[in-house]
Amino acid sequence: PEVCVLGLGYIGLPTAAIIARSGCRVLGVDVSEHVVSTIAEGRIHIEEVDLDGLVQGVVARGMLRTSLQVEPSDVFVIAVPTPFDDKHAPDISYVLQAASSIAAVLKAGDCIILESTSPVGTTEEMRDLIAKLRPDLKVPGLTSDIPDIAIAYCPERVLPGRILEELTNNDRSIGGITPRCARKALTFYRRFVRGECITTDARSAEMTKLVENAYRDVNIAFANELSIVADRMGLDVWEVIRLANRHPRVNILQPGPGVGGHCIAVDPWFIIHGAPDETPLIRTARWVNDGKVDHVLGKAGALIEANPDAKVACLGLAFKANIDDFRESPANKVALALAQKFGARIRIVEPYAQTLPPAYDGLGASLIDVDDAIESCDLFIVLVDHDVFKSIPLAERAGKIVYDTRGIWPDQPASPERPSGHLRLA
Ligand code: SAJ
């Protein structure tokens, strides 16, 4: 089939490339001229392992083209953003815009698949819009006859840094507006997904995606709350978690400076918004995880003030280990607030950055490398668990004051989050 992928971001571009590799002719559509022209040259505008080579190959073979405009196709895959507004209400306007541009070129036999994380009911809303714009087509769920088109919801669940591998190997939930729609979408996904594809209805598939990320948020909140409790009690939280996880049915996640990224801190709000009175736990988890940033900031600030002569190294800006994405990052929030308060005393170590983000302009903070930090800084605030930080041996950290919000240095002597003298596993 000919396939049109709408939205060429972290999900849409790798998806378009993998579909093209499976032998479909793919048109990638984006609203950004920069994105469209970069990919048309066989280059990519985002960082993701192995994506550059894949895109270069499918573009060179003519299997992936790009455009600002949707063209007639057999399958349409929507992977546009679904942000929330300042009241945490989901904004599905990009999805609806994509659907109306598809409606203009839609023909009988086509299949539309929504992949964007969406509040429950969005796929049906999209269907209703298409029915309104194309009264000549029989749409699924609104006709007793065999519908002319198929509409399904199929969320992605890939992890940044492992996108290509997970796109191929993860299991997928495929939610049809009707079972017939689900079967049609299933035939398409089987072309390039090696994981199991499980069919369901569209609303269940929408909720499944939200639940996966809310589950992780709630579990990280538990770890983050424990870290604050342990702090209060003078305990080493990582020691306690490591020991508790020896229980066969306990698996506590890792505390950190808060929860970042574009999914886990956002998607729970889509559930809360849909059922505001029934979600005290999910809402509290959001509050706990956001509050952890302030807790870390308070402790780091106090430590810097208590050591007025110390030069400070903030280790990491990324929202998680070994990636170059600094948006929605708790580490970046902490480092930026410290730079605003302490100016030139703050040095930032971020091997994944060439320069500091523009928000740091004029604050006096500087970007330095790991070796400079070891040589020149006395106080280390660990914000990201990049491998390159983990591998700094104790000998190079000896004598430093360390506030390790990620627990990357189990052998570090006493420090605010790691009081000495507690039982350790060998
Ligand atoms: N984090 C912790 N402690 C942990 C695990 C994570 O503090 O034990 C923090 C990370 O440092 C980061 C944030 O949580 O700031 C989120 O990181 P993550 O690795 O848990 O997830 P993401 O945002 O990279 O990707 C998630 C994944 N969802 C789940 O694991 C349920 C991914 O599979 C989804 O496809 C993705 O969201 C998405 O697009 O929805």
pLDDT tens per residue across span 114-172: 999 999 999 999 999 999 999 999 999 999 999 999 999 999 999 988 999 999 999 99
Full DSSP string of 26-42: EEEE-S-HHHHHHHHTT
Exposed/middle/buried for residue 35 (C-beta within 10 Å: 0-12, 13-18, 19+): buried
Ligand 1 centre to CA of 240 (Å) is 22
Residue 414 pLDDT exceeds 70: no
Is residue 225 classed exposed, middle or buried when 0-12, 13-18 and 19+ CB atoms within 10 A define those classes?
middle
Q: How far is the CA of 264 from the centre of ligand 1 (A)?
A: 6
Q: What is the mean pLDDT of residues 314-326?
A: 94
Backbone angles phi and psi of 116, in degrees to 5: -60, 140
Atom of ligand 1 nearest to the CA of 263: 40
Say how many Å lie between the CA of residue 220 and the centre of ligand 1.
9
Atom of ligand 1 nearest to the CA of 215: 31
pLDDT at 282 over 50: yes
Tell me the pTM. Answer: 0.94
Q: What percent of the chain has pLDDT over 90?
A: 90
Quote the pLDDT of residue 423: 39
Burial class (CB in 10 A: 0-12, 13-18, 19+), 300: buried
pLDDT of residue 416: 56
Closest ligand 1 atom to 329 CA: 15
Do 22 and 44 meet the contact criterion of CB atoms below 8 Å apart? no
The pLDDT of residue 421 is 39
Best mutation site among 212, 263, 288 for ligand 1 pocket (most ligand atoms within 8 Å of CB): 263
With a cut of 90, say whether residue 412 has pLDDT above it.
no
Tell me which residue has its CA closest to atom 4 in ligand 1. 254
- Nearest residue to 201 via CA among 218, 222, 177: 177
Kind plus residue range of the DSSP H or E element containing 402? strand 401-404
- Topology of the domain covering 2-195: Rossmann fold (3.40.50)
φ/ψ of 382, rounded to 5, equals: -85, 120
Residues at CB less than 6 angstroms from ligand 1: 117, 156-160, 212-213, 216, 220, 253-254, 256, 259-261, 263-264, 319-320
Q: Which CATH architecture has domain 235-404?
A: 3-Layer(aba) Sandwich (3.40)
Q: Looking at the chain, which residues constitute the CATH 3.40.50.720 domain(s)?
A: 2-195, 235-404
Rounded mean pLDDT, 174-203: 98
The answer for residues whose C-beta is within 8 angstroms of residue 288's C-beta and 6 or more apart is: 221, 224, 225
Beta bridge partners of 201: 176
Confidence of residue 30 (pLDDT cuts 50, 70, 90): very high
Nearest CA to ligand 1 atom 14: 259
ipTM over 0.90: yes
- 173 is written with which tokens? 């939930």
**Residue of 158, 215, 259 with the most ligand 1 atoms within 8 Å of its CB, for mutation:** 259
- Beta strands (DSSP E) in 156-244 are 172-176, 197-201
Written as one letter, the residue type at 109 is G
Ligand 1 atom, smallest distance to 330 CA: 15
Distance CA 258, CA 237 (A): 15
User: How much distance in Å is there from the Cα of 104 to the middle of ligand 1?
Assistant: 37
CA 52 to ligand 1 center in whole angstroms: 23
Model confidence at 425, in pLDDT bands (50, 70, 90)? very low
User: What is the residue with the minimal CA distance to atom 3 of ligand 1?
Assistant: 254
pLDDT(97) > 90: yes
Average pLDDT, the chain: 95
Which percentage of the chain shows pLDDT scores above 70? 97
Q: Using the atom order of ligand 1, give the atom closest to the CA of residue 213.
A: 31
Residue 217 CA to ligand 1 center (angstroms) comes to: 8
Whose CA is closest to atom 29 on ligand 1? 213
Does residue 415 register a pLDDT over 80?
no
343 Cα: distance to centroid of ligand 1 (angstroms): 31
Residue with tokens 């950190």: 256
Which residue's alpha carbon is at the smallest distance from atom 1 of ligand 1? 259
**Residue 136: what residue type?**
D
Of residues 204, 249, 232, the one with CA closest to residue 416: 232
> Would you name the residues annotated as active-site residues?
209, 263
Q: Which residue has the higher pLDDT, 85 or 138?
A: 138
Angle ∠(117,123,124) on CA atoms, nearest 5? 150
- Atom index in ligand 1 nearest the CA of residue 212 equals 31
- Quick check: 419 pLDDT over 90? no
- Strands 150-153, 172-176: pairing is antiparallel
Ramachandran sector of residue 408 (left: φ over 0; alpha: ψ -120 to 50; beta: rest): alpha
pLDDT for 161 equals 86
